[in-house]
Amino acid sequence: MPKPIAGFSKLSKQEKIDWIVSNYIQHPDRGKEIITSYWNTDEKLQHLHDEFIENTFTNLYIPLGIAPNFLINDKLLAIPMAIEESSVVAAASKAAKFWLGRGGFKTKVLGTEKVGQVHFIFKGDTDKLNTFFTAISPKLFKATDSLTESMAKRGGGISKIELRDKTEDLANYYQLHCTFETKDAMGANFINSCLEQFASTLKSEALNYSLFSEAERQIEIVMSILSNYVPNCLVKAEVSCPVSELNLSTEITPEEFAQKMVRAVQIAKVEPYRAVTHNKGIMNGIDAVVLATGNDFRAIEAGVHAFASKDGKYSSLTHASVENDVFKFWIELPLALGTVGGLTKLHPMVKLNLELLNNPSAEELMQVIAVAGLAQNFAAVSSLVTTGIQKGHMKMHLMNILNQQGATESEKITVVEHFKTNTITHRSVIDVLTGLRKQS
């Protein structure tokens, strides 16, 4: 049983590895071999990666693929996608190719407003608090001048500061609800710095406010933090074409296909069990591009799923309709992204991926990522309402199974050929491979 360790962060990288393998790895020498095999051979580059997070001991690689042929607002792009799941890049590429000849994807940024809040406790008269807030509002803005100067030069800054009474939800709870424009930066550090200054000014001004009682002057700041729920940092992406052009299946007519697509989305709108998986498929595409461009996919996930629940019930992020014999498929979702700051200027592959996308602004990247999510969903739902999801997915997963079983290149060729006309399951792949090895 390993013992707790003190001062782990102060150990050298090699000392950390020695401790890990001696305490937790069954075969320490093999463990060390795997750990070091994932180091970058360029020491300078490895050192850069080591400093991204704490207690680094090696790297975990995620495949980086390209989905080509995305026509977005009449510009042709190839989209980088970092993901480990089979069939995601293939599905996105298939959808991009289909819509390439049908006008491509049309996108529009509907808003770029981000949110932060100062949460505080005030035990006193709400009317007096409102009067106090009105009086000090100019000071709240003024106190952040040094923080907002650079952002203001780029056209960003603090949009609004509101006092919100939340006492119906929690006794004595109020907040400063603040909105920001951060241009091409994701803006987390900028927003949090402003919020902490708001909190400091709020507290100090209260201590000297003559209309407050002694108890009212003692405002308790609970916390100051940005929100990853950004319902006004919104982007829309859509595709459309005549129903007659929806010739994706030889088994059903384009009209039947269109109706099935609309019905599948309607089900995802009303059935949360389906909506979660439906939206997970969308996030396959979104997260892959978010990760490839050095953005925070956890923040994106949290904000997007909250948005999917904004009407009181978890629902589909995509929409579909047929009107006047035209099929339309679209998505609206919040994406708070950055193309400057953080990993975007540190990680060499992130910088290359942004260059691949023509060095987009934050708004342009919002549109690209929304398209990736829409394409992924179109491909997934198309498969579900026609051949089923497993045929394409298992075809892509076949190579993973073969690699798990240590198949040789000649064995892979033979097995892949066999499953061109047979149903793929994990068991059937192992059976065919075992039979092949017995023969040889």
Residue 121: inside a domain: yes
Residue 42: inside a domain: yes
Residue 59: inside a domain: no
Residue 130: inside a domain: yes
- Mean pLDDT of the region 411-433: 81
In angstroms, how far is CA 334 from the centroid of its own chain? 10
Helix (H) or strand (E) holding 173: strand 173-181
Looking at the structure, do residues 262 and 381 belong to the same domain, yes or no? yes
Q: What angle do CA 99, 104, 105 make, to 5 degrees?
A: 115
Give the Cα separation of 367 and 375 in Å (integer): 12
Looking at the structure, do residues 249 and 330 belong to the same domain, yes or no? yes
Looking at the structure, do residues 156 and 293 belong to the same domain, yes or no? no
φ, ψ of residue 358 to 5 degrees: the values are 70, 35
pLDDT at 392 over 60: no
Contact by Cβ (8 Å): 235, 332: yes
Looking at the structure, do residues 256 and 365 belong to the same domain, yes or no? yes
Q: Is 23 helix (H, G, I), strand (E, B) or coil?
A: helix
Residue 404: inside a domain: yes
**Nearest Cα to Cα of residue 293 among 61, 72, 49, 81:** 81
Marked catalytic residue, from 18, 32, 50, 85: 85
Marked catalytic residue, from 181, 205, 287, 296: 296
Report the domain count for the chain.
4
Mean pLDDT for the chain overall: 94
Marked catalytic residue, from 94, 114, 269, 393: 393
* Catalytic residue check, 280: yes
Looking at the structure, do residues 314 and 200 belong to the same domain, yes or no? no
pLDDT at 435 over 90: no
Q: What is the CA radius of gyration of the chain?
A: 27
- Mean pLDDT of the region 186-191: 95
**Nearest Cα to Cα of residue 10 among 2, 21, 19:** 19
Looking at the structure, do residues 130 and 99 belong to the same domain, yes or no? no
pLDDT at 394 over 70: no
pLDDT at 396 over 80: no
Query: pLDDT tens, 325-373?
Result: 999 999 999 999 999 988 888 999 999 999 999 999 999 999 999 999 9
Query: pLDDT tens, 54-84?
Result: 999 999 999 999 999 999 999 999 999 999 9
Looking at the structure, do residues 23 and 97 belong to the same domain, yes or no? no
Looking at the structure, do residues 162 and 253 belong to the same domain, yes or no? no
Query: pLDDT tens, 238-280?
Result: 999 999 999 998 889 999 999 999 999 999 999 999 999 999 9
Which residues lie across from 67 on neighbouring strands?
79
Check which CATH number belongs to the domain holding 176 and give it.
Answer: 3.30.70.420
Looking at the structure, do residues 15 and 159 belong to the same domain, yes or no? no
pLDDT of residue 436: 81
Among 162, 196, 227, the domain-final residue is: 227
pLDDT at 209 over 90: yes
Marked catalytic residue, from 142, 280, 310, 313: 280
Residue 2: inside a domain: no
Give the Cα separation of 314 and 311 in Å (integer): 8
pLDDT of residue 388: 65
* Catalytic residue check, 271: no
Q: Which of 43-47, 337-341, 429-433 is predicted with the least confidence, judged by mean pLDDT? A: 429-433
pLDDT of residue 250: 86
Is the pTM of the predicted complex or chain greater than 0.85? yes
* Catalytic residue check, 323: no
Which residues lie across from 43 on neighbouring strands?
none
Looking at the structure, do residues 374 and 267 belong to the same domain, yes or no? yes
Residue 57: inside a domain: no
Q: Identity (one letter) of the amino acid at 300?
A: I
Check which CATH number belongs to the domain holding 352 and give it.
Answer: 3.90.770.10
Give percent of the chain with pLDDT exceeding 70: 98
User: Do β-strands 220-227 and 157-165 pair in parallel, antiparallel, or remain unpaired?
Assistant: unpaired
Looking at the structure, do residues 353 and 415 belong to the same domain, yes or no? no
For the chain, what percentages of helix, strand and coil (3-state, to nearest 5) are there?
50, 20, 30
| CA end-to-end distance (rounded Å), the chain | 46
Looking at the structure, do residues 305 and 181 belong to the same domain, yes or no? no
Instruction: Tell me the pLDDT band of 391, cut-offs 50, 70 and 90.
Output: low
Give percent of the chain with pLDDT exceeding 90: 85
pLDDT at 393 over 60: no
Among 186, 207, 227, the domain-final residue is: 227
Residue 81: inside a domain: yes
* Catalytic residue check, 168: no
Q: Is 236 helix (H, G, I), strand (E, B) or coil?
A: strand
pLDDT at 141 over 90: yes
Range of the domain at 263: 64-111+231-387
pLDDT of residue 354: 97
